[in-house]
Amino acid sequence: MELKSSHVSPVLTEPVPMNKSRLGIHSSLLSYSQQDAASAPAKYTRSGSRKSVGSLDDVRCNGYLDAMKASSPPRKKVVKSCNNNTHLSAFDSDNEDYTSWTLDYPSALHYFENITERAKNKQIAMFLDYDGTLSPIVDDPDAAYMSEPMRATVTSVAKHFPTAIISGRSRDKVFELVKLRELYYAGSHGMDIIGPVSDTLSNNHPDCVKSTDYEGKEISLFQPAKEFLPMIDEVFRTLVDITKHIKGAKVENHKFCVSVHYRNVDENNWITVGQLVHDMLKDYPRLRSTHGRKVLEIRPVIDWNKGKAVEFLLDSLGLTNRDDVLPIYIGDDKTDEDAFKVLRESNRGYGILVSSVRKESNALYSLRDTSEVMKFLQLLVNWKRQQDDDKKQAPFLGIWF
């Protein structure tokens, strides 16, 4: 793995020019109301300088708005039929579409035996995203709680397999929500990792230091974007300020990245949110924005992501470059694609996408929602217990594994 041999900082020296991402989408494809223009602040202040906000065409032309609109599947509406019975309007065509999509991304529940066949006599390493994977997507990011049955399930998973949570949230925030000390955590999209102590990594990598965890246990702490802390803090404060007039907008500080939520913003004003973020980033060429589920994520331009975090954790667990290891990554978001890609390209394990709608992905399998995630994890734990019992019984039965 790269980390072992290279001591090069993951910070990219060449910032990505904003204009490189322009897709040339024709502005006539999008509607634009006077009200948008009126509600957009004409200027904002940063470090004493007055900045004029760019043209709203900027966000249209570079595909920002389209990506914002496409960033989360619409909720299914409950409708009343003529006999007054309520039912989900997950129209038949949606279901047909989903079913045909699962031909390319088969259900990890239906293909459970194929997965465990490959896992036999291997060490599974489990990587779990948080929002949309362990807790359902809800309107208020502060209320994205994990259910007690899910917590109990993840606890059992961690008893049987090394398990890590890899989240876009800050490490402290995701720990506050998960509350399990027996896991490893990677917050801020992998830019803040606590993993097992690894002398190889901490001796060889300048961004990896020995520290202590929530229980005072010795761990490795890896923070490749440490130098961005003051910048992220400044950007967080600026974003809070410039979005305060937009009803429903919410800005979260995730230590090494910032989230700007527009889930609760009137759709007519999404373009304003996009434009404000886009304009502010012109002042910060070493930051970029990515799209999550109804959220814009502002993060450092460094060569680091959830996929690199998986590689880092596998390495620190001593599970890299081994044929007897099967990593499984479960996630629902675009940022999880980096992890799926790492596993797919190295033909090392399984990426499982959580989605109830058709999506292009680097994952191999799919699960519909968080309840299917829980079911899959429970099946895996039961399978592992059975394997361990069979191994214990084997000498008495004269069977050799």
Ligand X SMILES: O=P(O)(O)OC[C@H]1O[C@H](O[C@H]2O[C@H](CO)[C@@H](O)[C@H](O)[C@H]2O)[C@H](O)[C@@H](O)[C@@H]1O
Q: Is 337 in the site for ligand X (CB under 6 A)?
A: no
Only one of the segments 27-35, 136-144, 152-160, 359-367 lies at the binding site for ligand X (rule: CB under 6 A); that segment is 136-144
Q: Which is nearer to ligand X, 162 or 168 (CB)?
A: 168
Kind and range of the H or E run holding 252: strand 250-253
> Considering only 9-17, 108-116, 129-137, 212-220, which stretch makes contact with ligand X by CB under 6 A?
129-137
d(Cα 307, Cα 352) in Å, to the nearest integer?
A: 14
Nearer residue to ligand X within complex by CB, 51 or 359: 359
Judged by CB, which is closer to ligand X: 71, or 198?
71
Q: Which residue is nearest to ligand X (CB)?
A: 168
Contact between 229 and 220 (Cβ < 8 Å): no
| Residue 110 CA: distances (Å) to CA of 71, 97, 252, 374 | 27, 18, 38, 14
Contacts to ligand X from residues 304-333, by CB under 6 A: 333
| Angle between helices 112-119 and 370-397 in degrees, nearest 10 | 50
Contact set for ligand X, span 213-252 (CB under 6 A): 252
CA-CA distance, 325 to 31, in Å (whole number)?
51
- Our finding on whether 137 is near ligand X (CB under 6 A) is yes
Task: At 296, give phi and psi (nearest 5°).
Answer: -100, 130
d(CA 340, CA 326): 13
Closest CA to 186 of 201, 198, 171, 176: 171
Residue 367 touches ligand X, criterion: CB under 6 A: no
Q: Least CB distance from residue 318 to ligand X, whole Å?
A: 26
Sketch the per residue contact string, 261 through 280, with ligand X: x for CB under 6 A, - otherwise.
x-x-----------------
CB 199, min distance to ligand X, A:
30
| CB closer to ligand X out of 185 and 383 | 185
DSSP state letter for 135: B
Nearer to ligand X, 292 or 327 (CB): 292
Opening angle at CA 136, ends 81 and 308, nearest 5? 140
Q: Which residues bind ligand X (CB under 6 A)?
A: 129-132, 137-139, 141, 144, 167-169, 252, 254, 259, 261, 263, 292-295, 297, 333, 335
